[in-house]
Amino acid sequence: MGQLISQIVLGLVSGALLVLLALGLNLIFGLLEFINFSHGALYMVGAYVASYLAVATGSLWPALLVVPVVMALLGAGLERTIIRPMYGRDQVDALLLTFGLTYVLIEGVRMIAGSGGRRVSTPELLRFQVDLGIVRLPAYLLFVVVVVGLVVAGLHLFLRRTDVGLIVRAGIRDHVMIRALGVPFDRYRTLVFALGVAVAGIAGVLTGPITGVYPEMGADILILAFVVVVVGGMGSFWGAVVAGLLIGVVVSLTTLYASVYAGIVPFVLMILVMTFRPRGLLGAT
């Protein structure tokens, strides 16, 4: 029983990280109308920046604040320089561009930091176990779930309760109309891309102490994040949250009971969803 519960919590943790990536992908897809293939690579860059910061400052805490800012600036820079020329061109071109960017980022990191991974130590404050009665869990895992919860809540409030969020949501609905109303739409595109990348960066910071950082860490999680987006429904905020946690837990439980199938399960789930409910669990028609 204890094993089952700890496995479910592990699944929720990996699912929560997937949620952060999927939400960024979803938001960028909604407003900028392309899938950011480099999202996984940017998550990896964020994790690396955090690992160096953690060594330099001796703690992960500064990274948790600095990395989102750095990643937002990086994202804004990328959007302004190489992604902007893609607007108005075929949707496919932006996808291909970010695909090429992935190569550059991964190889760049490999050149600077080497192919081997780096370990990131858990903040001292969180190096204890929490006793939940049936099972004892590392406090850091619970911390990750809390941070992800806060980020998701923050994003939700930003989109629902602020004027900027209102314009972003309106732009997702109909950007032609938004532009006709005189909104400087380009700025909002930069903002949303930067925001998505910053959230991916936070996911990178949080992952460090769990699995360490390595150049290919973005590739696998990106594919899973795609699966989450598709299963949850493209463009659906809560769809991504539900599907991310669901896939995290399902994969985690499969690892416990039938580890051979753990890699296959998310894709089978996605194929089932695409066959019987192509718009995703919570997607709009």
Partner 1 sequence: MTHLTTPSATDGTPTAGEAAVTVARLSGAAPARWTWGQLGLLVVLAVVVLFTVPNPSLAIGMLIYGLWAAGLNLLVGYGGLVSFGHALPFAWGGYAAGLTLLHVSSSAWLALLVAVVSMAVLSALVGAVCLRRTEVYFSMLTLAFAQLGFFIALQWDDLTGGDDGLAGIPVPTLWLPGTTVELNALRDPLTFFVVTAVLVLVVFAGLILYTESPMGRVLQAIRESEERARGCGYSTRLVQLATFVVAGAVAGLAGGLFAMLNNFVGLQPYWLLSGVVLIMVILGGRSSLFGPFLGAVVYLLLESTLSRYFASWQLIVGAIFVICVLAFPQGLWGLLTQTLPGLFRKRRRTR
**Residues within window 260-279 making contact with partner 1, judged by CB under 8 A:** 260-261, 263-264, 267-268, 270-271, 274-275, 278
Phi, psi of 129 (to 5 degrees): -105, 145
E strand spans, the chain: 129-131, 136-138
Cβ pair 203, 21 in contact under 8 A: yes
* Interface with partner 1 (CB under 8 A), residue from 85, 149, 154, 184: 85
Among candidate residues 222, 206, 208, the one with its CA nearest the CA of residue 105: 222
Give me the least distance between CB of 85 and partner 1, in Å please.
6
| Residue 99 in contact with partner 1, rule: CB under 8 A | yes
Q: Per the structure block, which two tokens stand in for 144?
A: 């990750």
**Residues within window 33-72 making contact with partner 1, judged by CB under 8 A:** 34-35
Give me the least distance between CB of 125 and partner 1, in Å please.
37
Q: From residue 105, how far is each of 141, 149, 283 by CA, in Å?
A: 28, 29, 32
Phi, psi of 213 (to 5 degrees): -120, 145
Shorter beta-carbon distance to partner 1: residue 94 or 151: 94
Shorter beta-carbon distance to partner 1: residue 1 or 260: 260
Interatomic CA distance for residues 79 and 86, integer angstroms:
10
Q: How many CB atoms lie within 10 A of CB 285?
A: 5
| Residue 164 in contact with partner 1, rule: CB under 8 A | no
Shorter beta-carbon distance to partner 1: residue 22 or 202: 22
Q: Which residues bind partner 1 (CB under 8 A)?
A: 29, 34-35, 82, 85, 89-93, 95-97, 99-104, 106-108, 110-111, 223, 226-227, 229-230, 234, 260-261, 263-264, 267-268, 270-271, 274-275, 278
